[in-house]
């Protein structure tokens, strides 16, 4: 391994997903920071990197979105093996899978099997194929207690209005509580379904994304790993030289604030190039 400048980190492999480039929600500036400071032998893009659904409605693209693509292409050029596994938001690339397409050194794959340095085999897939088990709005699980607390206040107002209209009392907070519980159960079903798929394929674990919920835990004898997202959190899965897997929260580690106003400044040291080809006319 080459000696790196002090501020660069090297990993055997890196897994990221759910970046949703092309939407305002994408924390592309944080991901660009991550990609600038991390080097790896293998980079897995585990789906929903570009949000193609939004191509039909609104499209958001700034210099940081540009920077993310530029850094990924640069990594591929500099010897990182880049594997792109499309998700449901970038499913337009799935149509090209049978071609075995390779763009700018980036290999397009439906899924992959990654072998760690310590010999464990992991199925790598986005995970939306198991959507049927996720029936609840995922965000409710994240809101959790806050939603419940907020609902108590809303509940008072709703029922005040209902009483004035001569309608019977209805507990909104009880309804919300059921929804949150349902969402937590849905996440659990998703995780269990992916672990079962790993078991079915005879591998030691699974690495996926899709539900924006970073996690690493053993389920039924296999290791379930979700690399999280770059919208609600800034998480990546890394594999150390010895094969050890670790979830990294880039925002937390670097004290990057989600509350800080989104910088409109263009990233430094960036060459003004043509707009990316995927920007619609």
Residue 87 in the binding site for Mn ion (CB under 5 A):
yes
Residues in contact with Mn ion, counted by CB under 5 A, come to a total of: 5
State the nearest-atom distance from the C-beta of 131 to Mn ion, in Å.
8
Tokens of 253: 């580690």
Nearer residue to Mn ion within complex by CB, 63 or 186: 186
Euclidean distance between CA atoms 274 and 1, whole angstroms: 34
Q: Which stretch binds Mn ion (CB under 5 A): 3-11, 38-46, 79-87, 179-187?
A: 79-87
Check binding of 210 to Mn ion (CB under 5 A). Answer: yes
88 near Mn ion (CB under 5 A) = yes
Backbone φ and ψ of 173, nearest 5°: -65, -35
Residue 277 burial class via C-beta count within 10 angstroms: exposed 0-12, middle 13-18, buried 19 and up: exposed
Residue 159 engages Mn ion in binding (rule: CB under 5 A): no
Q: Which is nearer to Mn ion, 87 or 228 (CB)?
A: 87
Q: Where are the alpha helices (DSSP H) in the chain?
A: 28-37, 63-77, 139-164, 172-200, 250-253
Binding track, positions 89-128, relative to Mn ion; x by CB under 5 A: ---------------------------------------x
Q: How far is the CB of 128 from Mn ion (least distance, A)?
A: 5
Residue of closest CB approach to Mn ion = 210
- The DSSP bridge pattern shows strands 38-45 and 81-84 to be parallel
In the complex with Mn ion, the residue whose CB is nearer, 24 or 77, is: 24
Alpha-carbon gap, residue 234 to 105, rounded angstroms = 25
Please, what is the end-to-end C-alpha distance for the chain in angstroms?
Answer: 43
User: By CB under 5 A, which span of 40-48, 51-59, 97-105, 197-205 interacts with Mn ion?
Assistant: 40-48
* 48 counts as binding Mn ion under rule CB under 5 A: yes
Instruction: Characterize the bridge pairing of strands 245-249 and 235-239.
Output: antiparallel
By the criterion CB under 5 A, which residues form the site for Mn ion? 48, 87-88, 128, 210
């Amino acid at each position: 391994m080459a000696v790196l400048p002090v501020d660069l980190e090297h990993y055997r492999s890196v897994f990221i997903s759910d970046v949703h480039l092309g939407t305002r929600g994408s924390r592309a500036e944080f991901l660009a920071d991550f990609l600038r400071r991390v080097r790896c032998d293998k980079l897995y893009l585990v789906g929903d990197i570009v949000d193609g659904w939004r191509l039909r409605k609104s499209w958001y693209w700034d210099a940081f979105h540009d920077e993310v693509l530029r850094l990924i292409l640069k990594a591929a050029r500099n010897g990182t093996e880049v594997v792109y596994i499309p998700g449901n938001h970038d499913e337009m690339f799935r149509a090209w899978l049978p071609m075995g397409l390779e763009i700018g050194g980036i290999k397009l794959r439906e899924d992959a099997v990654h072998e760690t340095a310590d010999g464990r085999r992991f199925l790598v897939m986005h995970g939306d194929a198991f959507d049927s088990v996720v029936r609840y709005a995922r965000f409710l699980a994240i809101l959790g207690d806050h939603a419940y607390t907020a609902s108590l206040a809303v509940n008072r107002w709703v029922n005040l209005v209902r009483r004035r209209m001569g309608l019977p009392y209805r507990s909104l907070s009880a309804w919300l509580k059921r929804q949150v519980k349902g969402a937590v159960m849905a996440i659990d079903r998703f995780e269990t379904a992916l672990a079962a798929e790993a078991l079915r394929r005879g591998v030691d674990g699974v690495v996926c994304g899709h539900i924006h919920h970073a996690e690493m835990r053993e389920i039924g004898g296999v290791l379930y790993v979700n690399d999280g997202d770059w919208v609600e959190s800034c998480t990546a899965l890394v594999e150390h030289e010895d094969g050890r897997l670790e979830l990294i929260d880039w925002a937390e580690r670097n004290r990057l604030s989600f509350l800080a106003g989104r910088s409109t400044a263009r990233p430094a040291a960036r060459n003004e190039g043509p707009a990316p080809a995927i920007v619609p006319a």
